[in-house]
Amino acid sequence: MTRLVAVTTCPTGVAHTYMAAEAIIEAAKEKDIWVKVETQGALGAENILSEDEIMNADVVLIASGKKVNKDRFEGKKVFEADISRAIKDAAGLIDEAFQSAKVQENKISESPDGKETKNKELPEVYKHLMTGVSFMTPVVVAGGILLAISFIWGLDSSTEGDPSYNPIAAALNLIGGGDGALGLMVPVLAAGIAYSIANRAGITSGLLSGLIAQIIGAGFLGGIIGGFLAGYITKYLIKWIKVPKSIESIKAVLLVPVLSVGLTGLILIFVIGTPIAALLDILETALSNLETGNKILLGIITGSMMAFDMGGPLNKSIFAFSMIAFAEGNYEPFAAVMAGGVTPPLALALSTILFKNKYSVEEKEMGKSAWILGASNITEGAIPFAVSDPLRVIPCIMIGSSVSSTLSLIFEAACRVPHGGLWATLIPNVFDNPLLWVFGICCGTVVGAILLGLVKKGGVHQ
């Protein structure tokens, strides 16, 4: 029997990871292919592939949105693809994997003339960034929620001498806030990017590049640039520094760390830091002084990017943009981003109720879970609907999300924690104008649901 093993993983390690695994398993069974899928989710790897299973497999399929270590697949036929392809067309992806998989080699390949063959680095840039995001997300969620809880006693409840001061609030603020978990956000992001490029050797210089970016005022954007800088400097130092085997350990624990940290730090401080800090000041000023017309444009862009690929590259890109503003103390762009992310699953859930005859029994059941996913800001809850009918679903949810994001900006809603969805509004002092923010989401949800009802044809097979 033909044997396939696969690995699925996405930047956040939540919905995409498991949806892709399920799609691959179902498609393989239909093709009478033995399959096992390892999921590398937010809490670590599950259903881990054994050495025997890898050895006996005909093909290894990696469906990912970030870097996956392929060392254990050396000598096997490996095929890599973006995780979204597994969700949208697992059967076609499996066929392509068996046709186009190539033997994995972990050593640098060389051309016949002895020169190193050029790696196609540009397609990898997104994966490096998403690996950094996957490192950062648990830090952001943990820190953000703990910080939000500290606000229950008041915005200044962590300040000694303030009438609202509470020692528990002060402790939670320290743990979750800028001096704790959220203060690690940029260094961890940079470390993840550097790790993706240079493996474990890149973590040290990546962490330091993110920390330096914070110190010199280059913030989130400086951390991203610093992570790439640290990763590539480390990668090429490992390649260029040649030492005898007897002192190879010195290279690993002394030469590479010292040189990579030093070079990355000096470049950030003297070359990159100042212009990035200046750019951030301009961006912060522009975002703080948006007129109504510009807010409408930003809202349309934000909502459309959040809904278009539902957790994919565009979704993560606008999230990164909002985090630049968030790190500078401007909380309105993130509220708009979260409004746009919450809306697609909610719009689809509402549409399955308002237009029951337009949806199959299975879609109506998915609509029930979409309420919870949407409220929790898990935009991926809309993916099953979009996969089955993309040309109708995606434009409708983009319009709905644009309405939500635009109204969020017009209402000057602001969220002081970088996660939480609708649940964050239940925590006192986290939101500015929370009722208007929820009202804006309701408007976007209704618009999206009605548009879906108007354009969908109905029936089980559309």
> What is the per-residue pLDDT for 285?
67
Average pLDDT, the chain: 85
Residues of the chain with CATH 3.40.50.2300: 3-103
Residue with tokens 């408007």: 443
Cβ neighbours for 179, distance < 8 A, ≥ 6 positions apart: none
- 213-217: long-range contacts (C-beta < 8 A, 24 or more apart)? 213/186, 213/268, 213/273, 213/276, 214/183, 214/186, 214/187, 216/268, 216/269, 216/273, 216/274, 216/277, 217/273, 217/277, 217/280
- Yes or no: say if 432 and 391 are a contact pair by the CB < 8 Å rule: no
Active-site positions read 10
Other C-beta atoms within 10 Å of 385: how many? 29
Other C-beta atoms within 10 Å of 147: how many? 25
pLDDT by position in tens, the chain (length 462):
899 999 998 876 667 888 899 999 999 999 999 999 999 887 778 899 999 999 999 999 999 877 788 889 988 999 999 888 898 889 999 999 999 999 887 544 434 344 444 444 446 787 888 788 778 878 877 887 788 788 788 777 888 888 888 999 899 989 988 788 888 988 999 999 999 999 889 999 999 999 998 888 887 788 889 999 999 999 999 999 888 877 777 888 889 999 999 999 999 999 987 888 777 677 666 655 656 678 898 899 999 999 987 766 677 778 877 877 787 778 899 999 999 999 999 999 999 999 988 888 878 888 888 898 888 888 877 877 887 788 889 999 999 999 999 999 999 999 988 777 898 888 888 889 999 999 999 999 999 999 999 998 765 444
The fold of 3-103 is Rossmann fold (3.40.50)
Longest dimension (CA), the chain: 75
> What is the per-residue pLDDT for 287?
59
Give just the sign of the alpha carbon dihedral 347, 352, 354, 357. positive
**From edge to edge, which strands make up the β-sheet containing 34-41?**
44-46, 34-41, 3-9, 59-64, 77-82, 102-103
- Rounded CA-CA distance 99/97 in Å is 5
pLDDT in tens, 200-254: 899 999 999 999 988 888 877 888 899 999 999 999 999 998 888 777 778 888 8
Enter the pTM of the model: 0.69
Cβ neighbours for 4, distance < 8 A, ≥ 6 positions apart: 28, 33, 34, 35, 36, 57, 58, 59, 60, 61, 94, 97, 98
Using only the alpha carbons of the chain, give its radius of gyration: 24
